[in-house]
Amino acid sequence: MVTIAFIGAGSVVFTRQLVADLLRFPELADVEFSLHDIDAERLAVAEGTARRLDGQFGTRARVRASLDRREALAGADFVINMIQVGGIAATITDLRIPASYGLQQTIGDTTGVGGVFRALRTFPVLTELTADMRDICPDAWLLNYTNPMAMNVWWASVVAPDIKTVGLCHSVYWTAHDLAELVGVPVEETHYRAAGVNHQAWMLELTHQGKDLYPVLRERIAADPELERRVRVEIFRRMGYYPTESSEHSAEYLSWFLRSPEQIARYRLEPLQYIGISEQNVAEFEEAKVLLRTGEPLPLEAGAAEYAPQVIHSIVTGTRREIPRQRGQPRTDRQPAPGCRGRGPLHRRRERADPGRDGRAAAPVRRAEPPLPLRRRADRRSRPTRGPA
């Protein structure tokens, strides 16, 4: 039996999607979910959600829940980290205090004031989590969804180079879907390749049946003046490759987009936008409690949209896939990788994760074995799933 520990399982809507995506794989029908959160109410809702989904799918999953992290890690083969240290209150503070001094942010989870303070809150917990894994489940994979991804995966590589760590994010997946829709081709018929760092990667290749889609993309953008009023389109126009990150994220990385009310209006930006998203997350948690109480079926996305279930399925079954990831795998020589931790293709098969190489991306993590080829077929289309708050 495969045991998957969820750390921060109280992110209930995200936990729901991960559990559903995992149970859709027949080979994981008897998986064990070990749920942990420090909030007893949220943990109870997460446990109820997992049990309800097991019933909806007619699978044979086992579900256990604990407020004790070490207890939850016992026997884990995979550990999915999706914590938000400080909760929504800390996130609001990260946004509102800088705003009171004239420093605008939209999301505040990757760089700048918000990203740095979120990282400083998270580093001690990551240190404790990886130490617990070393004691309790040293062979488990740590699959991290918690932002700031680049900083957190780098920190894990420093304090726990022996723990197999992979950072996962939705942005490349949904950029491919959005661009396929914009140019009018089925995403499942496209091929794409992306490289960069988390929350700032680039679509280095986007083709349909061997045809480069970039000329068509430029035509579609030029025909829509509103599209030209977006940060990522402005970056695309100047850089030549389409960025995988939202305009809201991208606006925080370059100093001029949020500098003045005129620029904010020109690029259709909304400062402090993540406060509204956080409030929506709270509303969704309350809705989840109602659904469990009334016995109504839980709403689900179609298909396996998240990467963690695909990674787990590939490692367990040997199914070969290629997905974007944040580098954090242990190196054979135990030395820090040169330069920045990069995002590029990751080839998954049983018991191994081989990073692809791309000369245009950040320096690759060296491995004892050679990488596999760099081509992938896009995943199926479905509606976006919000990650952990």
Output the six-digit token pair for 225: 């003046």
Separation of alpha carbons 165 and 288, rounded Å: 30
191 annotated active-site: no
Query: CA torsion 171→177→180→181, rounded to 10°?
Result: -120
Which residues have CB under 8 Å from 307's CB, separation 6+? 168, 169, 170, 173, 323, 324, 325
Half-sphere exposure of 42 (CA within 13 A, CB side): 24
How many other C-beta atoms are found inside a 10 Å radius of the C-beta of residue 266? 13
Residue with tokens 């920045």, as numbered in its chain: 340
| CA separation, residue 216 to residues 190, 206, 211, 250, 276 (Å) | 14, 11, 10, 23, 34
Contact call for residues 50 and 22 (beta carbons, < 8 A): no
Strand, helix or coil for residue 188 = helix
Q: Which helix (H) or strand (E) holds 53?
A: helix 40-57
In 3-state terms, what secondary structure has residue 387?
coil
**Which helix (DSSP H) or strand (DSSP E) does residue 104 occupy?**
none
Which member of 36, 170, 177, 313 is catalytic?
170
Question: Annotated active-site positions, please?
Answer: 170
